[in-house]
Amino acid sequence: MNLLVTGGCGFIGGHFIRRGLAASASPLRRLVNLDALTYAADPAPLAGLPADARYAFVQGDILDRPLLDRLFTENDFDAVIHFAAETHVDRSIDAPAAFLQTNILGTHQLLEAARAHLARLPGERRASFRFLHVSTDEVYGTLGPADPAFSETTPLAPNSPYAASKASSDLLVRAAFHTHGMPVLTTRCSNNYGPRQFPEKLIPLVLLNALEGKSLPIYGDGRQIRDWLHVEDHADALATILARANPGAVYNIGGQSERANLDLVRALCVELDRQAPRADGRPYAEQITHVADRPGHDRRYAIDCSLLRADLGWRPRYDLENGLAGTVAWYLANRPWCEAITAHRYARERLGRGA
């Protein structure tokens, strides 16, 4: 398989690439990672792994159609897995334009380039080609405390600019299947966590703020509920779906670990108390503070992934307690990575401002 991965320097994409290249029975002949290296990218997703002749990195934007056409021609891809997206809800509230450009128009350009490539493939390879679009449970909107979990047939009802841009891209992918017969797949995942996550996200933000003696900000009352999925479980699910799902399929991927944000942060504090106690012996939970809730904050997400279990036999391997313990241990052992990735973010932002 020759595989194009977009956004492979992001958190989930990087884990997917590491998994694919490390697998003993990997079908990969060539993997091209196309990433624009925006502020949240990890510029070295394969750090610590041996050099691999199957892997190639290309810095570029999915909005660049000539670049996309060249990559498809030169590498003769058998599949695309599309991670590239702007993802942070707070940033989408402050500056939504980048989300519309990348998540909607970028997905359109990638679909069109893939469709042109598909038309050139011989019949057998055309039948086996796949375009896997990685989306989010946030496209479904919000749930009440007693509502059933989101299923694949739950209507889309996005409540933030980020979620709206992802819902739009989902619909473009759906239209490509129904109008042009594109062999597409769509996945919608719950909140991911694990090693190497960018420090603006909740879990690494809490860990690093705690270790630096800063406050641990919780939006509103902290009773917003999320389902937490370990990133390695997510990567396993995506590989399974890419290899075995039928064109047009949509699958939810969840960790089956619902927690209120406040309870999750308290659990992180307890784990830090165990692994890296404060010098003064006080609990990290004393650093928790509540801040004004963000606009349009969804109250609860919950994922029903029974269809994925029934169709393809996938199940998560990590429970939240063990996953959090391992995640805390990784961040404690890799503080230099955190400092380097944060410095990379600010360097990119300075370049963007022309400073």
201 vs 102: CA distance, rounded Å: 20
Q: Is 138 an active-site residue?
A: yes
Q: Which of 39, 162, 193, 331 is catalytic?
A: 162
- The answer to whether 260 and 223 have CB atoms below 8 angstroms apart is yes
97 phi/psi in degrees, rounded to 5: -60, -40
Q: Is 137 an active-site residue?
A: yes
Other beta carbons within 10 Å of 25: 4
Q: Which of 138, 170, 227, 232 is catalytic?
A: 138
Q: Is 349 an active-site residue?
A: no
194 vs 323: CA distance, rounded Å: 7
226: three-class secondary structure by DSSP: strand
User: Over the range 160-182, which residues count as b (16 or more CB within 10 Å of their CB) and which as e?
Assistant: bbbbbbbbbbbebbbebbeeeeb
- The answer to whether 254 and 303 have CB atoms below 8 angstroms apart is yes
Which residue in this structure is represented by tokens 């199940």?
Answer: 315
- The answer to whether 19 and 47 have CB atoms below 8 angstroms apart is no
Query: CB under 8 Å to 45, separation ≥6 — which residues?
Result: 8, 9, 13, 14, 17, 18, 33
300 phi/psi in degrees, rounded to 5: -150, 140
56 vs 211: CA distance, rounded Å: 36
Percent helix, strand, coil in the chain (nearest 5)? 45, 15, 35
Q: Which of 35, 42, 86, 137 is catalytic?
A: 137
E runs forming strands in the chain: 2-6, 30-35, 55-59, 79-82, 130-136, 184-189, 191-193, 216-219, 225-230, 250-253, 258-260, 288-291
Catalytic residue numbers? 137-138, 162
